[in-house]
Amino acid sequence: MSDRNDRFKELRLSLGKSQREIGDAIGLSNSGISSIESNQRSVTEKHIKLLVAAFNVNETWLRTGEGEMFIKTQAYDLAEIASRYHLDDMDRRMLTAYLELPADARAVIKDYIHSVASTPLDATSTDDRAALHKALDAELDAEKVGQMSEAFTDGNLKEKSS
């Protein structure tokens, strides 16, 4: 009895759940959970089935200790990633939706993200930079002869930089 009960407690602690939370999931009171964890009560077939269904527990592990504690599924893997990277609900929904897309649709999204990620947010295009350099050069040349150039008027700058 104690090995299965020990795994029951190990599972609860691994899930980070209180006795009350586990009890709510499988229909037991706090004292019922406490009795199992202190080897005063056995883990029943009903408890095993409910734990497996509620928490994606590997039934073989719970019964015998063999194998991994949890059955790895896409949902479990996503929960693990969400926890590790502190993802909110919207992040998880976006990842799930992306993973469920056909490969060609994912390729379109990857191309878009690549184009956005490879362009610094504050960078201006090469054409804009060239126009600004040309205007600056014209202004510096005009200063040399003591006159104001039209190259650096507000209208020209706004046109060149937009």
Across 2-11, 64-73, 111-120, 146-155, which has the greatest mean pLDDT?
A: 2-11
Query: For the chain, how are helix, strand and coil distributed in percent, rounded to 5?
Result: 70, 0, 25
- Please report, as a single letter, which amino acid is at residue 35: S
Q: How many angstroms separate the first and last alpha carbons of the chain?
A: 75
pTM for this entry? 0.47
Average pLDDT over residues 10-29: 94
pLDDT, the chain, mean: 83
Average pLDDT over residues 46-56: 92
Could you give the CA distance from residue 139 to residue 143 in angstroms, rounded to a whole number? 6
Given a contact cutoff of 8 angstroms between Cβ atoms, the answer to whether 49 and 26 are in contact is no
pLDDT higher at 127 or 158: 127
Residue 66 has pLDDT above 60, yes or no: yes
